Amino acid sequence: MNNSKGTSLSSILNSFWNSWANADPRLVAALLICAGMLSFLPFLGGWRLIDPSDAWYAEGAREMVALGNYLTPHLNYEPWLEKPIMIFWLTCASYKLLGVNEFAARLPSALSAIALIALVFNFARKYIQQRVAIFAAMILLSSPLFCVVGHMSQTDMPLTLFVFAALSFAFDALRSGQTKDNFSWIGFYVACGLAVLTKGPIGFALPSIIVVAYILWTNQTKVDIWNAVKRLNPVIGLGITLLVAAPWFVVENIATQGAFFREFFVRQNLDRVTGHLDHVMPAWFYLPIFLGGFFPWSICLLSNFALVKKLFLRRFSLSPRTQLITFCLMASGIIICTFAGIPSKLPTYILPAWPFLAISAAGVLDLMQKLKVKRPLLVSTIIVQIGALGALGFLLYFANKVSPAFVPIVCGAAVMFLAFLPATIFAKCNLLSRGIASLTIVSVIGCAVLVPFSLKTYSRVYQKGQYRLVDYAKQANLDLAVFGRYSPGYLFYYHKPIPMIHYYEKAVQYVIDHKQCAFIAKADRIPLLTRVGFSVQVLKREGNWCLLMVSNN
């Protein structure tokens, strides 16, 4: 009767976990989809659009619906030629089904994230045990950057979906024996075409670079390399990608008389690659994004660096598991390094690496468990707790300095800090599977709760007042302009064009031309307008922002 350890909660949880690891894959996929839905859908429309990234695509699609023009995206009721069409088509379809609102605007990103959870599981399950594939899906679901982007209207999540689909098809095709018996290569080129429609040339270039690098890295002879290339049918495949992507690009360029080519291909792509556009950042910019955006799994991978390196160097192994992990490590590394080498950077650009990082982390942790190597996990969990404690201290300092609204987030971070303790205890006691499971479950729940709440808090603290000014101006039927900020979110709620004026001289000229106008501006702009003799009346104030009626007497 002293066998109490065998009936402990840890053993019960372990038995429960093993039962799901051997369950019907369709049932597991359905449960993972449900987990994704619970993480992304309940609070998706719970806060107003976050300027500018969340609002660009939401407003661009809204204006397409309002104008009845489904060929060319518009912003401020002018053609907006910076992005391809896919995200706008998806958002327009969402608006048609659910109406124009924040939930519908963000739904394409959320559904793409949920689909990625299922695809990661199904792809990984082909080459590694089901329990590891489950871990991979849950690791992705518990990654902060992935969860944040899944709650916003952006191109990055659909792009990640199509890039991952393309590369999973390519890996399947390369693993097949005969091209005629396998049609995965077709899926590769179709998904690349959809990625191009989502983000442009990078949607084809990135998967192609990864596939070529993988072929060169894992084949020993020229004959092997040539046979691998033949499995992908590159000539026919390129035609498939063009068939999917090219029609809209051609028609759009004709419709805009070449303006689309100049704006998108030259300015938005060539100038961005050469560093002549905005968001220029140093090469190390993505290091903190990786550490925080893939937390806590970034720490787990780094603490197991020796094992990661060993797996990557086993490039000629015939083991499906090793080949998969090598492929995923190479894919994630190339994606991050490619964007690190481009001068223009934003945190979300490297999101396509996340599904491959999730599979890599799951495979490495599983192998570590099999080898009974506890030190990396123990080190990881301790570092995770130190990191959570540091984040707690930072949030506490930040909350005291900015707004009491952040206090609940601080409390949530404190709970997360305490919830990581069982993983450390399990690792210390050599219960590695329990430690990994504990770390995973806590991270999934933490992201599902803290990410939407943090976004809602940010919106309430920094933008809710500004949107109140827009609502007031709309109800008063004022001819509104903005002085000092580019705010596409204002357009989403105002439903009319709003001049966005950045420079003082242009603001003065605008008042002179219109005699009287309403401005949304910060309070420190008032002296700039009064010193030239304008009459300035504050109609409404929200924090540092004011709705002004400016007259040229």
Which spans in 202-256 are helix H?
202-218, 222-231, 234-255
Residues 246 and 129 in one domain: yes
Domain boundary among the residues 461, 481, 516 is at 461
Q: What is the distance between the alpha carbons of residues 290 and 286, in angstroms, rounded to a whole number?
A: 6
Does 354 share its domain with 485?
Answer: no
Listed as own residue / partner, the contacts of 230-237 with beta carbons closer than 8 Å and 24 or more positions apart are: 230/179, 231/173, 231/174, 231/176, 231/179, 231/182, 231/185, 232/170, 232/173, 232/174, 232/185, 232/188, 233/179, 233/185, 237/185, 237/186, 237/188, 237/189
Domain contains 484: yes
**pLDDT per position as a tens digit, 292-337:** 899 888 888 887 787 788 887 787 777 888 899 999 999 999 999 9
Express each pLDDT in 233-248 by its tens digit: 899 999 999 999 999 9
152, 348 in Cβ contact below 8 A? no
* Residue range(s) defining the domain that contains residue 440: 388-461
Q: Is pLDDT of 410 > 70?
A: no
How confident is the model over 65-104, as pLDDT tens digits? Answer: 999 999 999 999 999 988 899 999 999 999 999 999 999 9
Cα torsion 94, 99, 103, 109 to 10°: value is 10
DSSP code string of 80-148: --SS-SHHHHHHHHHHHHH-SSHHHHHHHHHHHHHHHHHHHHHHHHTTS-HHHHHHHHHHHHT-HHHHH
Indicate whether 439 and 538 sit together in one domain. Answer: no
Strand, helix or coil at 219? coil
Residue 271 lies in a domain: yes
pTM: 0.90
Are 548 and 539 in contact by the 8 Å Cβ rule? The answer is: yes
CB 358, CB 137: distance < 8 Å: yes
Residue finishing a domain among 436, 461, 486: 461
Question: Is residue 221 in some structural domain?
Answer: yes
How much is the average pLDDT of 361-383? 77
Residues 406 and 521 in one domain: no
Do residues 433 and 475 both lie within one domain? no
Max mean pLDDT among 18-22, 308-312, 360-364, 368-372 falls in 360-364
E strand residue ranges, 256-408: none
Q: Where does the pLDDT of residue 16 fall: very low under 50, low under 70, confident under 90, or very high at 90 and above?
A: low
d(CA 272, CA 190): 26
When pLDDT is cut at 50, 70 and 90, the band that residue 6 belongs to is very low
The pLDDT of 129-144, averaged and rounded, is: 92
Do 400 and 540 sit in the same domain of this protein? no
Last residue of a domain, one of 373, 408, 434: 373
Query: Is there a domain that residue 5 lies in?
Result: no
User: Is residue 380 assigned to a domain?
Assistant: no
Residue 175 sits in the same domain as residue 130:
yes
Q: Domain count of the chain?
A: 3
- Residue bearing tokens 């191109």: 155
